[in-house]
């Protein structure tokens, strides 16, 4: 019984460390959709999308995020309420602000 508890405890610790070690996902794009410059990982916006197909479209063309016109709770493609998010990166705070207020 003690062996089973020891194995279960060790397994629980390993699982806990594996979750703690996971890094938050970065932006899906390498270049700013406004300027074309390299993305700064600190300048991101979570764009809401309604489904996996729309998420794939935004990943393929991050400029679609600009169609959201600052309302990132609605899908920029369908206009439906967001169920998922896609992290889009920008080069600087100015570009991020433009995307948030377009």
Looking at the structure of the chain, the number of domains it has is: 1
DSSP string, 24-60: PP--S-SB-TTT-SBPEEEEEEEEEESSHHHHHHHHH
- With respect to residue 40, please indicate whether it lies within any of the assigned structural domains: yes
- With respect to residue 90, please indicate whether it lies within any of the assigned structural domains: yes
pLDDT number for residue 8: 60
- With respect to residue 37, please indicate whether it lies within any of the assigned structural domains: yes
**What is the residue range of 68's domain?**
25-101
- With respect to residue 8, please indicate whether it lies within any of the assigned structural domains: no
Tens of each residue's pLDDT in the chain, 102 residues: 677 766 766 666 766 665 544 456 789 999 999 999 999 989 999 999 999 999 999 999 999 888 888 888 899 999 999 999 999 999 999 999 888 876
């Amino acid at each position: 019984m003690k062996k089973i508890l020891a194995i279960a405890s060790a397994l629980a610790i390993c699982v806990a460390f594996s979750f703690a070690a996971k890094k938050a996902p970065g932006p899906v794009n390498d270049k700013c959709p406004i300027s074309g410059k390299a993305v700064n990982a600190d300048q991101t916006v979570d764009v809401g999308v309604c489904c996996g197909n729309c998420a794939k479209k935004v990943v393929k063309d991050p400029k679609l995020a600009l169609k959201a016109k600052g309302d990132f709770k609605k899908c920029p493609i369908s206009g439906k309420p967001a169920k998922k998010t896609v992290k889009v990166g920008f080069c600087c705070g100015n570009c991020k602000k433009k995307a948030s207020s377009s």
